[in-house]
Amino acid sequence: MADQVQVRHPASAIFLLHVALEIPVAVQGLLAPTALPFLQMTNTTLVIMKLYSALVAGSCAAALLCYGLPEFLPGKRALGIGLCIYHLTCSTVLYYAPRIIPMSLGIQAETYGVTPEVVWGTLHGLLGLGLAVWWQITVQMAQIVQKMQ
C-alpha cells in the first residue's frame, strides 16, 4: 500500500505546464526586458519586470523540483496551492487589464473580444483550475499516508 502512495500521479504534469507557460516570460524578462511586447515600458516598469521575472524563474525551479516528489508531501501541496492562487489571480488581473500588448489576433478575434491579454488570462485560469483539480484528486493520497503515521 505504501508503495502505491509513493507513485507520482499523472496529474502532477500540471507543475510542468506551469513551467511551460512561465519560463518564456521569466527568461526574456531577465535577459532582455525591453524586447517584451508591452506598451509604455519605463525604467520603473523594467526594474519591476526584472524582479517579477526572477520571482517567476524561482517558481519554475520549485515546480520542476516538486514535479517528481510524492503527492503527499506538505511542501509539494503548499507549492501547488500557492501556484493555484497565483494563476487564478493572474487570470483575473489579465481579464480586467487595459490593453498592454500591442498585438492583435485579427479583426475577427477583436470583434469577439479575444485579445492577447484575454488569451494569456485564459491560460492562467486553466492552469489555476488544473492545480485545483490536482489538489482534489491527490488529496486521498495525502490522507492515506497521514492515517498510516
Tens of pLDDT, residue by residue over 107-116, are 999 989 899 9
Q: Check: CB of residue 29 under 8 Å from CB of residue 56.
A: yes
- The reported pLDDT for the residue numbered 112 is 93
Confidence band (pLDDT; 50, 70, 90) for 7? low
Residue 22 pLDDT > 50, yes or no?
yes
Q: How far is residue 82's CA from residue 64's CA, in Å, rounded to a whole number?
A: 15
Q: How far is residue 70's CA from residue 125's CA, in Å, rounded to a whole number?
A: 25
> Could you tell me the pTM of the whole model?
0.87
Give the CA radius of gyration of the chain.
18
Kindly state the DSSP code that residue 40 receives in the 8-state scheme.
Answer: S
Q: How far is residue 41's CA from residue 35's CA, in Å, rounded to a whole number?
A: 10
Angle between helices 13-31 and 116-148 (to 10 degrees): 130
Residue 1 pLDDT > 60, yes or no?
no
Mean pLDDT of 41-50: 94
Residue 148 pLDDT > 80, yes or no?
no
Mean pLDDT of 77-104: 94
Residue 73 pLDDT > 70, yes or no?
yes
Mean pLDDT of 36-64: 95
- The reported pLDDT for the residue numbered 8 is 80
Percent of the chain with pLDDT over 90: 73
C-alpha cell at 104: 492583435
